[in-house]
Structure 1
Amino acid sequence: MTNATSPRPTLATFDPVGWHYTEQLSQRASEATGLTRDLLLAKLEKALSEMNARWDTKLDAKKLSGEPDASPEAALPSPLAQLLQEMTRATGEVQPIKPNAWRAESPRIQQFRKQLGQISVQKQVSQAMAQAPQNAGPINSHMLVLRSLGLMREASPDYLGRFMVYLDTLLCLDAPNASKPPTPKKRTATRSDP
């Protein structure tokens, strides 16, 4: 049986995703027992043989094309590296990567943003509670939502903040549909017989 930790090291550069898959299978197989271990080892053997077959096919194609250095030790560029090379050739220059400005934010600004967000959420919930219907029954949907927001505010303010961001996003996405007038239903004409 092939050992997952000792195959040719160039397989990791040839197929990083497949290599990671075999490493994970190997780790799970070493932790499992019984029938589960046997099934995982069979999957591992199959994955390694498929990866080796793809590697050998790539080497054979390279030998047939007459390219130099067709040894298994020669690392093949990843598809992403090939794409980046083609894009560089197409544009002629590589643009420098600018660091993200939001990562350079000071911790105090981040803390201020967080506190401001919490205050905004508390304000929104308080406004919603103030607009509650006066004589609503115990299972009124509006009241149930307001009660759940109040309980969420007490139990987990951080979750409430995330939940409100989610609701705001849904409302923004629904805004174009809310501005459309409802489509009138077609009336069926009833004939009266003379």
Structure 2
Amino acid sequence: MGTDRHDGLAGLVARLDAGSRSAATFPELPALADMRIQWEQLHADSRLRITLQQAPAEGGPLNSAVLVHRMLTLMQETSPGYLRHFVAYADALSWLEQMQPSATPAKRRR
């Protein structure tokens, strides 16, 4: 009794593999999109909360850390939705910077 190469688990894997190659893209699930939005909001809120808790104790009025903290506080009071998008954008830029293979600081001109 000979076995056909399309029988059993090997046949199932072959059919699934052939089917996945014919599909151009996978369909986007609506529940996944909602979950992604909720995760982005939760992550941005968490990053913002951490940032606002790390207020510089001593710094002059032109200290960059003090200015950023003041800017984030004012944004939170005026437009929390915009601030959430801003934090997500800054977080994405930070992630992209970390993904660069040779992230060397630029040489300063003297």
TM score, norm. by length of structure 1: 0.35
Change (3 A) 1:113 1:157: farther
Kindly tell me: are residues 117 and 174 of structure 1, through their superposed partners in 2, closer, same or farther at Cα, counting changes over 3 Å? closer
User: 1:180 and 2:104 equivalent?
Assistant: yes
Q: CA deviation at 1:148?
A: 1.6
Deviates more, 1:116-125 or 1:144-153: 144-153
Name the residue aligned to 1:119: 42
1:156 pairs with one of 69, 74, 79: 79
1:145 is matched with which residue? 68
Amino acid at match of 1:180: T
2:37 partner amino acid: K
Structure-2 change in CA distance of 1:181 and 1:160 (3 Å): closer
| CA apart distance, 1:118 | 1.4
Where do 1:50-61 residues align within 5 Å?
none
Count residues with an aligned counterpart. 89
The equivalent of 1:134 in structure 2 is 57
Map of 1:165 onto structure 2: 88
The share of aligned pairs that are identical, in percent, is: 30
Match of 2:4 in 1: none
CA distance in structure 1 between the aligned counterparts of 2:57 and 2:42, rounded to whole angstroms: 26
CA 148–98 in structure 1, closer or farther in 2 if over 3 Å, else same: same
> Where does structure 2 lack aligned partners over 5 or more consecutive residues?
1-20
Does structure 2 conserve the Cα–Cα contact (< 8 Å) formed by 1:125 and 1:150?
no
Following TM superposition, by how much is the alpha carbon of 1:97 offset from its aligned partner in structure 2, in angstroms? Answer: 5.3
Deviation at 1:180, TM superposition (A): 3.0
> Hey, what's the Cα distance between the residues in 1 that align with 2:69 and 2:108?
32
Aligned-residue offset at 1:149: 1.7
Per the TM alignment, residue 183 of structure 1 is displaced from its structure 2 partner at its CA by: 5.5
What is the CA-CA distance between 1:184 and the residue it aligns to?
9.1
> Separation in 1 of the partners of 2:81 and 2:73?
13
Distance change (3 Å), C-alpha of 1:119 and 1:169: closer
Q: Distance in 2 between matches of 1:178 and 1:154?
A: 39
